[in-house]
A and B are shown apart, each in its own frame.
Chain A
Amino acid sequence: MEKVVEVNFGPQHPSTHGVLRIKVKLDGEIIVDAQPVIGYLHRNAEKLSEMGLYPKALIYMDRLDYVAALNMELGYILSVEKLMDVETPERAQWIRMMMVELNRIASHLVWLGTHGLDMGMLTPFFYCWRERERVLRIFDEITGSRLLYNYFSIGGVYSDLTPKGIDMIKEFVNTFPDRLEEIQSIFQKSYIYAKRTKGVGKLTLDDAIAYGVTGPLLRASGLKWDLRKNQPYLFYEKVNFDVPVYTNGDVYSRFLVRVEEMRQSTKIVKQVLEKLPDGDFYNKKYAKPMLVRMKGSGESYVPTESPKGEFGVYVIGDGSTIPYRVRIRSPSFANLQAVSIMLKGYKIADLTATVSSVDPVFGEVDR
């Protein structure tokens, strides 16, 4: 009689963060083999982007990683601007930086809350959502939307910061670190959480590099690689922040990396508020009616550090108003490959911990 049982985790399973399906072969409680199966949320974002004008592809970028939509927009916008040699006013770039960092906080909060649920902790979820709600209110005030913003435009942003919005950001930045401390302590002071996550889902640095893993996972495995530091875009070289690095490569260090990143993002937002210059928030040369006539030729790729890892859009223009090719380099897609080696030999209970520590968002994986 066969000892190994094959179980399908997902695509409809409470802790697969969307529609991930993992084919798991189990020997008792031990995972012998795990293969992630993706493609349940394929929405053809790349091809759709190639069918419309340059600014119109932005809404598809929003829907990639819907919990960090501004980060996705930034990757596309930077590539397109590089393709067309568009100059962006300084104020717009600072605003972009601040919004992206706020969105990074929101994205990590979503992760932290759902990670708590996966570990069987019900309460931190609500605390994380409470904080995320404040970020979303800020976005609502400034961009007009709560989830999918369509806020960045070629040559700037669509609307300036409002005084009320700045006040809200200031209030958030001042109170958030204490609240984060509270949320972190729920996890970190819990003996059970530490026991369950330390040494679980290990990913060695060699494996991480071989699989193209980026973002918090790579930093938890011990490589200090953050595109905001290593290949600065926007004004990241002008602000002061640290890149957290841990060497264990387990779920616990990923948790620490992400929490520390939220703290650093808060620091960046604070500095942006101090340094924010006056001026235009978009390039007057590319006013809204002009955007649809913009032509691009050549190719460009600007890697950015999204909450999940390296995100970039490779754009080829053939001289018309429609991009010839849009190729999305999505971080979760690459990170998810490593799941099968992260899981081998661990127990079923570690599966949810490990998969949630990867933080896959399926709009982005399946594109």
Chain B
Amino acid sequence: MNLFFFIMSILYGILKFLHWPLWNWYLYGYPAGLWIMYFVDAIIEVVLVFAVAMLVVVILVYVFRKYMADIQNRIGPNRLGPWGSLQLIADVFKLIQKQDIIPKNADRIAFRVAPYIIFTPVILGMLVIPFGNVSILQLMVVNFKYTLLFLVAAMVISPLGEVIGGLSSHNKFALYGALRSAAQDIGYEVPMMISVLSLIILAGSYSINDIVNAQKHIPFVIPEILGFIVFFLAMIAKQSIPPFDLPESGSELVSGFSTEYSGMRYGIIYMGNFGFMALASVVVATLYFGGPVGPFFNSVLWIAVKSAVFMIIFLLSWIALGRVRVDQFLNMGWKYLLPISILNLLISSLIAIYFGGAF
């Protein structure tokens, strides 16, 4: 059963219990009551996704802090709540209390909008991920023919927020951060698209659901190992975490595009980054490792385990590696990732032609 119908039937039950048959309400011959129910349903779904994303972010930030502290011979947060688990909540409250500073010469509207743009793809991307089934309930918010295209389109939004935020800050460091963000985008997005394209060829469909189903026997990481490498590196670059944290590059440009951000706006950027890390690991697990499809049984458990592994790998990369220079990154993108992804496209086309039935 679809999540939409699930929520719809609950709504129906509640309204029936209240003796308030909204679905029978017509306005000028249009089923306006039904439309309202659809709308409420959609809002509930988005809120649900938002809540799940936030929960994952909270857990991820906590794990990040503790894991990083463990590697660095520290204890990490240990004061608030059991084992310091409420530290992030306290941080959020601290950020909310802070004075809201917008630079004098900043473009105020753009400056305010940018953090939300960075956060958007977390929600939009999570909408189309199939999380598997819980008995008959299918945990997927939206399902249509072109979900993979939608996912890619949603994921490329966040660098736009970085560019807008950097340019509108009226600060030279932020400007340089924005320029780097733009350069970095172009560097990795083309190879990323091409490796996604080879997935589409291999699965013969634009739908993530079909891609997941195609990996019933062999996960795509085996025929698509080159594409996986490209996509994985692109995902690291997209989150702008070390070694590819060029837009923010803490020690060079004071804090890159987010130099002028403080208070809750910075908090939203921070949350967006961690949320994107969660999204990226889920996407990698879904596209290349079969998502909920796994050995022995298919379950939500599998996608949770797989994406947790990738989250840990992302965190490790954050903790252990230094930063590359911007020209080195562009070199990598254009000279190595692009040819590799094209080669991968060729290979997967050949596989699709000769072993088309295998997937």
Q: Do A and B actually bind?
A: yes
Residues of A within 8 A of B323 (CB): 119-121, 192, 196, 349
Quick check: is A126 within 8 A (CB to CB) of the other chain? yes
- Fill in one digit per residue for A123-138: 1 if any B CB lies within 8 Å of its CB, else 0: 1011100100000000
Residues of B within 8 A of A118 (CB): 251
The residues in B between 70 and 100 inclusive whose CB is less than 8 angstroms from any CB of A are 71-74
Q: Which residue from A13, A186, A193, A349 sits with its C-beta under 8 Å from B326?
A: A349
Bound CA–CA A349/B326 (angstroms)? 8
Q: Are A349 and B252 closer than 8 Å at their CB atoms?
A: yes
- Fill in one digit per residue for B289-330: 1 if any A CB lies within 8 Å of its CB, else 0: 000000000000000000000000000001111111111100
Residues of B within 8 A of A196 (CB): 322-325, 328
Bound CA–CA A350/B318 (angstroms)? 20
Quick check: is A29 within 8 A (CB to CB) of the other chain? yes
Quick check: is A4 within 8 A (CB to CB) of the other chain? no
Bound CA–CA A197/B73 (angstroms)? 27
Bound CA–CA A350/B74 (angstroms)? 30
Bound CA–CA A130/B72 (angstroms)? 9
Q: Give the most central of A119, A125, A349, A352: most B CB within 10 Å.
A: A349
Closest to A190 in B: B322
Bound CA–CA A7/B73 (angstroms)? 37
Closest to B255 in A: A14
Residues of A within 8 A of B73 (CB): 126-127, 130
Q: Are B322 and A347 closer than 8 Å at their CB atoms?
A: no
- A156–chain B nearest beta-carbon distance, Å: 37
Bound CA–CA A120/B320 (angstroms)? 9
Residues of A within 8 A of B328 (CB): 195-196
Residues of B within 8 A of A125 (CB): 72
Q: Are B325 and A193 closer than 8 Å at their CB atoms?
A: no
- Fill in one digit per residue for B51-73: 1 if any A CB lies within 8 Å of its CB, else 0: 00000000000000000100111
Residues of A within 8 A of B243 (CB): 120, 192
Bound CA–CA A126/B249 (angstroms)? 19
Residues of B within 8 A of A120 (CB): 242-243, 245, 249-251, 321-323
Bound CA–CA A7/B243 (angstroms)? 25
- A220–chain B nearest beta-carbon distance, Å: 20
Q: Are B326 and A347 closer than 8 Å at their CB atoms?
A: yes
Q: Are B322 and A349 closer than 8 Å at their CB atoms?
A: no
- Fill in one digit per residue for A92-120: 1 if any B CB lies within 8 Å of its CB, else 0: 00000000000000000000000011111
Residues of B within 8 A of A190 (CB): 321-322
**A348-B252, A348-B253 as given contacts; A122 in contact with B68, CB under 8 Å:** yes
Q: Are B326 and A14 closer than 8 Å at their CB atoms?
A: no
Residues of B within 8 A of A352 (CB): 251-252
- B61–chain A nearest beta-carbon distance, Å: 16
Residues of B within 8 A of A351 (CB): 252
Q: Are B321 and A121 closer than 8 Å at their CB atoms?
A: yes
- B332–chain A nearest beta-carbon distance, Å: 10
Closest to A29 in B: B326
Q: Are B326 and A123 closer than 8 Å at their CB atoms?
A: no
Quick check: is B111 within 8 A (CB to CB) of the other chain? no
Residues of A within 8 A of B249 (CB): 120, 349
Residues of A within 8 A of B131 (CB): none
Q: Give the most central of A118, A122, A125, A352: most B CB within 10 Å.
A: A122
- B119–chain A nearest beta-carbon distance, Å: 24
Quick check: is B172 within 8 A (CB to CB) of the other chain? yes
Residues of A within 8 A of B74 (CB): 126
Residues of B within 8 A of A186 (CB): 320
- B179–chain A nearest beta-carbon distance, Å: 8
- A355–chain B nearest beta-carbon distance, Å: 10
Quick check: is B228 within 8 A (CB to CB) of the other chain? no
Quick check: is B206 within 8 A (CB to CB) of the other chain? no
Residues of A within 8 A of B327 (CB): 29, 347
Closest to B327 in A: A347
Residues of B within 8 A of A41 (CB): none
Q: Which residue from B252, B255, B321, B326 sits with its C-beta under 8 Å from A192?
A: B321
- Fill in one digit per residue for B200-216: 1 if any A CB lies within 8 Å of its CB, else 0: 00000000000000000
Residues of A within 8 A of B242 (CB): 120-122
Q: Are B176 and A126 closer than 8 Å at their CB atoms?
A: no
Bound CA–CA A76/B255 (angstroms)? 41
Q: Are A122 and B72 closer than 8 Å at their CB atoms?
A: yes
**A5-B172, A7-B173, A15-B252 as given contacts; A349 in contact with B325, CB under 8 Å:** yes
Quick check: is B254 within 8 A (CB to CB) of the other chain? yes
- A250–chain B nearest beta-carbon distance, Å: 14
Q: Which residue from A7, A122, A347, A349 sits with its C-beta under 8 Å from B172?
A: A7
Q: Are B319 and A122 closer than 8 Å at their CB atoms?
A: yes
Bound CA–CA A366/B181 (angstroms)? 37
Closest to B248 in A: A120
24 contacts between A and B (CB under 8 A): A5-B172, A13-B254, A14-B255, A15-B251, A15-B252, A119-B251, A120-B242, A120-B322, A122-B242, A122-B318, A123-B71, A126-B73, A126-B74, A127-B73, A130-B73, A186-B320, A192-B323, A195-B325, A196-B325, A196-B328, A347-B326, A348-B252, A349-B249, A352-B252
List residues of A whose CB falls within 8 A of some B CB. Answer: 5, 7, 13-15, 29, 116-123, 125-127, 130, 186, 190, 192-193, 195-196, 347-352
- Contacts A127-B73, A348-B253 known; 11 new A-B pairs at CB < 8 A: A117-B251, A118-B251, A120-B243, A120-B249, A122-B319, A123-B71, A125-B72, A195-B325, A347-B326, A349-B325, A351-B252
Q: Which 9 A-B pairs have the closest CB atoms?
A: A120-B323, A126-B72, A15-B251, A121-B322, A119-B322, A349-B325, A120-B322, A118-B251, A192-B322
